[in-house]
Amino acid sequence: MEPIRNFAQLTAHLKTLNKRKRIAVVCANDPNTEYAISRALEEGIAEFLMIGDSAILEKYPTLKKYPQYVSTLHIEDSDEAAREAVRIVREGGADILMKGIINTDNLLRAILDKEHGLLPKGKILTHLAVMQIPTYDKLLFFSDAAVIPRPTLQQRIEMIWYAIHTCRHFGIEQPRIALIHCTEKVSAKFPHSLDYVNIVELAEAGEFGNVIIDGPLDVKTSCEKTSGNIKGIVSPIDGEGKGVLRGGNLSVFYGLRGTPYDIPAEGTILFIEDVGERPHAVERMMYNLKLGGVLDKLSGLIIGQFTEYEENKSLGKDLYGALADLVKEYDYPICFDFPVGHVSMNVPLINGAAVTLKVGKKEVKLSFNTERE
C-alpha cells in the first residue's frame, strides 16, 4: 500500500474497500456535522445512525437522499443519547463513534464509564488529529491536543504507539515522530523534555520497531528542514529528500564535469558507484564535487557499490569511512551500500526519474514518483 498523503487519496482508498463504515453520531444538530455526513454519503464510504433529535432529517433534507444509509434513533436527552451510542459501538452495532453538538465532557463520561464504556482496562484515551496543509506535501498527525494535558512518560509511550498504528493504516511504513517542545534544549525545568530523552533512547533501541523519533524539537524545525539549518540542528526526522535521480559510474560522471553533459546538482538525488578505482582516486573525485559546490546543492546522495579495489591505509580508514567523513556535514538524506554497481545484486535505476529518498536508521527506501501534477 502506497502512503496516503492527502485526504483525496484517503477517500479514494476507502472507496476501493467497497464497504461503508457504520458511524453512530451523537446529537448531530449542526451544519458542520451535517456537511461531514453528507460528504461521506456522497463519496460512498459510510452509513450513519443519528442518535438524538430525529427532526434532523427535516432540518437537513440532503440526508433524505440516502434513506438506505441514514437512520435515526430519537433520544432527547443528550447524556442518554451518548450512553446509547457508546453501547451500540461497544456491542458492534457501529464501527465509529462521532460527536455532534454535545459537550465533550458529557460524551467522555459515557466513553470512560468503567462498566459500560469503550476504553479497555489498562488503556488510555488519547486524541489524534490529522491535518492537511496545502503547502505541505503530506498529512500531519498531532497528538495529544485535547484529552491529556500533562501526560506521564507511560502515557506518552501509549500515545506514540497509537500514532504508529494509525500511521500504518495510512500506509506509512516508517513513521517519523517529533517530540514537540518550545525549544530543542533538554531542561529539568521542563520535565517532559527529560521524558523525551528516554523515548528517543527507546526508539533507538528498537522498542517501537521501524519508526524514527527525535526531540525535543519545535514544530517548525520538525516540518521544515530550512529552519533546522538556520539553527544548526540535524535531525533524523528530516531524513527524506525529493528530486531527480541522476548519476552512475563516478569516474564517468567526474570525466564529464564542465562539459554540456555535466549533471546539474540543484534538485538532484545523486547515485554513484565504481569498479577498480583506487580509494585515494575516489576520494579525490569526491573532493572535486565538494569544492566545486556540487555536493552542497544536492537533494540526496546514494552511495552504491565500490568494488575490485584494495584499501589504502594512507586514508586513515576504509573507503566508506572516508566517504562518510567527507559528506557528514550535509543535512540531506545519504545512504551507503546501496545495491547498485558492478555487482550481481544490481537493482535498475531510472536516470531522470522523479524520486523520493527516505533514509532511516534501519531502512532505506527509494520511491519513484508516478503521480503527475
The pairing of strands 240-249 and 354-359 is antiparallel
Amino acid at 200: V
Please compute the mean of the pLDDT values over residues 111-127 and round it to a whole number. 90
157 has pLDDT over 80: yes
The pairing of strands 129-131 and 140-142 is antiparallel
Q: What CA–CA distance (Å, rounded) separates 234 from 144?
A: 25
Contact of 299 with 243, CB cutoff 8 Å: yes
pLDDT digits (tens, 9 = 90+) for 262-294: 999 888 999 999 999 999 999 999 999 999 999
Domains of the chain from N-terminus onward: 7-111 (3.40.718.10), 129-238 (3.40.718.10), 240-368 (3.50.30.60)
pLDDT digits (tens, 9 = 90+) for 167-226: 999 998 888 899 999 888 888 888 888 999 999 999 988 899 888 899 898 888 788 766
Residue 70: partners with Cβ closer than 8 Å, 6 or more residues away? 37, 41, 47, 48, 50, 57, 63, 64
Q: What is the reported pTM? A: 0.69
**Spatial CA neighbour of 107 closest among 22, 24, 26:** 26
Percentage of residues of the chain with pLDDT beyond 90: 54
Please compute the mean of the pLDDT values over residues 143-155 and round it to a whole number. 88
Q: What CA–CA distance (Å, rounded) separates 316 from 219?
A: 40
The angle formed by the CA atoms of residues 91, 92 and 98, to the nearest 5 degrees, is 100
pLDDT score recorded for residue 373: 42
